[in-house]
Amino acid sequence: QVQLVESGGGLVQAGGSLRLSCAGSGRTISSYAMAWFRQAPGKEREFVAATTWSGGRTDYADSVKGRFTIFRDDAKNTVYLQMNSLKPEDTAVYYCAADVVIAREKDKYDYWGQGTQVTVSS
């Protein structure tokens, strides 16, 4: 079992950058595929980015491709989401998730953090 805690959210103007962190505890995340999802008010939670347990493969939603980067530091038991060129439509609560297999479907992830709010002003 692993517990996940997100941090790094905040308020930023359009065009700005934020780096989100997802810290694991309970056990190392090195054996898990890790992903980021986001959920805006009144909308379904949607896939953002994912990386395999090895970090050798990444996957991005089309809406963030070229702007966001997912990477992990297993020595710190942490996965990150670097968000650049932020847009107002990126505003959402961002969640990290872990599972043994990488996927885009939220229902395939067993472990979730509590989320961190990202607000992008126009």
Half-sphere exposure of 118 (CA within 13 A, CB side): 32
* Mean pLDDT score, 87-97: 98
Question: What is residue 30's predicted lDDT score, i.e. its pLDDT?
Answer: 83
Q: Is the pLDDT at 29 greater than 90, yes or no?
A: no
Euclidean distance between CA atoms 102 and 99, whole angstroms: 7
Instruction: Give the other-Cβ count within 10 Å of 44's Cβ.
Output: 8
> Which burial class, exposed, middle or buried, applies to 116 when counting CB atoms under 10 A from its CB (0-12, 13-18, 19+)?
buried
Euclidean distance between CA atoms 33 and 121, whole angstroms: 32
Question: What is residue 74's predicted lDDT score, i.e. its pLDDT?
Answer: 83
Q: Is the pLDDT at 55 greater than 80, yes or no?
A: no
Using pLDDT thresholds of 50, 70 and 90, give the confidence band for residue 94: very high
List Cβ neighbours of 4 (8 Å cut-off, separation of 6 or more).
22, 23, 24, 29, 96, 97, 98, 111, 112, 113
